[in-house]
Amino acid sequence: MYGILNNRSRKAHPGAVVHLSDCPIDSNKLLLGFESGCIVLWDLRNKSADYRIYYSEGLKSISWHHEGRQFIASHTDGSITTWGVKGGNKPVTTLYPHSKSGNDLKPELCKPIYKAEWRTVRNGEPYIIFSGGLPVGNSTSVGAGNQASSSQSPQPIPQSLSSKSLDKTNGSQSLTVMHGKSITVLEMEDNIIDFITLCETAYETDFSDPYAIVVLLHNDLVVVDLLSPGYPCFQNPYSMDLHESPVTYCYYLADCPTDLVYAFLTVGHKSNKRSGFSEREWPINGGEWGSSTCSYPELIITGHADGSIKFWDASSVHLHQLYKLKTAKLFEKPKINKSGGDSSSGTESGVGLQESDDPFAIEQLTFCTESRYLCIGGASSQVIGFRFSKHETHSEVPQNQYFSNHLL
């Protein structure tokens, strides 16, 4: 055991290690990357450096080509550089994927590229997949974009990036897929923590042939299909959106009628629109189911701040969403004055909706498993009754007004 020390001839410390990997074709060659931009190819057999690179831009990530003769590095200025293992003070190529040159021919200022992966294809152009790197600004439009989510259908939208989303920790909600001359930007709903590409081979010295990207977000897990046009998402078979809107009430039912869970599941499938998702099967498998399943059906009903109600099957080892009911659509959204107050006219007695950031939040609910009646109470004193039906119906919603000098 020995330590690999920095070049003592230089006064400045290279900073933290951000990358560490061995060469795909030579396990005696160790590649180290430091946050300052220093890159070292270390010979484990001779215990010495083959070469050191001192690049002017900070380093974020490194990814090898499968032949082991070149690698790419992503930097804090939104660039991707290509380097050869034979050394050299200058990169083979320097690419600013999302930068446009200005009048002074200088590249446009971009956000850091936090991670980049170089994946080759046996009978086609290689992929370069990276997070971040979009131009700095509030309304910068870059190519074609998709909004990616595992719980709702992704729709093509113009890619725009707000400074608010970039100022958060880990910095980026965008994932870019470069394939040949095409560049596609996928905008995520939350910040990207990490991502990996799923490939046909597990051998680093062979062509990668990637078929999907697994993206870990702050509040979700998204899997992108690389083999379908437009890069749609796979529909996630596991519930990841329990706190999609904050939970404000929870109701638990044990030993409920056996046909109740199936009834909610049937209705939920009818209302769940699958358009926009990949037609291919979920690409991740493995593992075993636990044995902690109940012998009787369990149902959990959660009320949320946005007025939605979710029904969950808790009988197995994970929560499975059966059905989602949106109560906010029954009401008109209160208009907000420029001064920030509620401009709703209220009732005849001058009693308006209770001022709240979440006027439709669910505060109370009860459900009868025999009659299948659901009654809820909300933050604005609204009380709503529902009766379960397997078939879709269209009817006028009756309204009862209660006049009082005080809110309920």
Q: Of 68-77, 249-258, 352-361, which gets the smallest average pLDDT?
A: 352-361
DSSP label of 299? E
Q: Which pLDDT belongs to residue 347?
A: 41
On average, the pLDDT of the chain sits at 81
341 Cβ contact partners less than 8 Å away, ≥ 6 residues apart: 355
**Number of CB atoms found within 10 A of residue 359's CB:** 22
Q: What is the pLDDT of residues 239-275, one digit of tens each?
A: 667 778 899 999 999 888 878 888 888 877 766 666 6
Percent pLDDT > 90 in the chain is 48
Q: What is the pLDDT of residues 25-60, one digit of tens each?
A: 999 999 999 999 999 999 999 999 998 999 999 999
Q: What is the pLDDT of residue 8?
A: 64
pLDDT tens-digit map of 224-244: 999 999 999 998 877 667 778
Confidence bin at 346 (pLDDT 50/70/90)? very low
Q: Which residue has the higher pLDDT, 243 or 24?
A: 24
d(CA 247, CA 249): 6
Q: Where are the domains of the chain?
A: 17-225, 247-387
Q: In what order do the strands lie in the sheet with 221-225?
A: 192-199, 210-217, 221-225
Q: Higher confidence at residue 369 or residue 399? A: 369
Q: Quote the CA–CA distance of 44 and 22 in Å, as a whole number.
A: 10
Q: How many helices (H) and strands (E) does the chain have?
A: 2, 24
Confidence of residue 397 (pLDDT cuts 50, 70, 90): low
**Scanning the structure block, which residue is given the tokens 């498993």?**
369
**Which is more confident, 276 or 390?**
276
Q: What are the tens digits of pLDDT across the range 106-136?
A: 778 899 999 999 999 999 999 999 999 999 8
Q: How far is CA 56 from CA 14, 53, 75, 90, 226, in A?
A: 12, 10, 10, 10, 34
Q: State residue 118's pLDDT score.
A: 97
Distance CA 346, CA 404 (A): 12
- Residue labelled with tokens 């012998």: 295
| Residue 211, pLDDT above cutoff 90 | yes
Q: What is the pLDDT of residue 166?
A: 39
Q: What is the mean pLDDT of residues 62-83?
A: 96
- Residue 152 has a pLDDT of 43
Token couple for 221:
């897990």
Identify the top-confidence range among 59-63, 316-320, 393-397: 59-63
